[in-house]
Amino acid sequence: MEIHKINPKLIDPQKGRLLISEPFLNDLKFRRSVVFLCEHNEEGSVGFILNRLLSVTSSDVIPQLLEYNFPLFYGGPVETDTLHFIHKAGDFIEGSKEISNGIYWGGEIESVNQLLSDGKVSPNDFRFFIGYSGWAPDQLVEEITEKAWWVAEGNMDIIFDDDLENMWKAVVRSLGKDFAFMANSPDDVTWN
């Protein structure tokens, strides 16, 4: 029997890319998570977990701020008393910061109601997060070196995908054949 040698072509982390937790990561907060990196520089890294939907909505947490009742996602374990959002509304929202092609972070949240009312955007153009995922300078690179994370290109189809249950598997498969078999690995390595 010939052993297949894995030679993955991994890319470096940078804003607009995705972090994919390796399948057996021990940290339950990040197990089988897909994180959208919104910042990565010498000061550290910031991102949001895309596939962890909470059981509360925006009306539960911030009543009367938003007219539409948005689902809320668990962005990560840092500052879980804060609200963040990414969107496709671009120049419509003052103060927003473009992360990658057509995907923006933050801005004047009060304008969301008017944009929805005017029909300039749709509720599907937004993702709201409680808390965020953060890393100190060089911490994320160290974790990637230790193989806790894989890095993939981000795109709008993944970032705003509603199939949260299969998101991690789909992104792992997108890394190529050397990773595809890992997409179906059991949660517990002892089950294999």
pLDDT of residue 177: 78
pLDDT of residue 26: 84
Which residue matches tokens 């965020």? 132
Q: Give the integer Cα–Cα distance in Å for 174 and 11.
A: 13
Residue 147, phi-psi category: left (phi > 0), alpha (psi -120 to 50), beta (remainder): left
Q: Give the integer Cα–Cα distance in Å for 12 and 46.
A: 15
Could you please report the per-residue DSSP string of 107-142?
--TTHHHHHHHTTSS-GGGEEEEEEEEEE-TTHHHH
Q: Give the integer Cα–Cα distance in Å for 52 and 77.
A: 12
The residue type found at 56 is V
Share of the chain above pLDDT 70, in %: 88
Q: Mind listing the pLDDT tens digit for each residue in 118-148?
A: 999 999 999 999 999 999 999 999 999 998 9
Note the pTM of the prediction, 2 decimals. Answer: 0.91
Q: Give domain limits for the chain.
A: 17-191
Q: Give the integer Cα–Cα distance in Å for 21 and 72.
A: 21
pLDDT over 50 at 192, yes or no: no
The CATH homologous superfamily to which domain 17-191 belongs is: VC0467-like (3.40.1740.10)
pLDDT over 80 at 9, yes or no: no
Q: Give the integer Cα–Cα distance in Å for 27 and 35.
A: 14
Closest among 61, 59, 58, 35 to 47, alpha carbons compared:
35
Q: Mind listing the pLDDT tens digit for each residue in 73-105?
A: 999 999 999 999 999 998 899 999 999 999 999
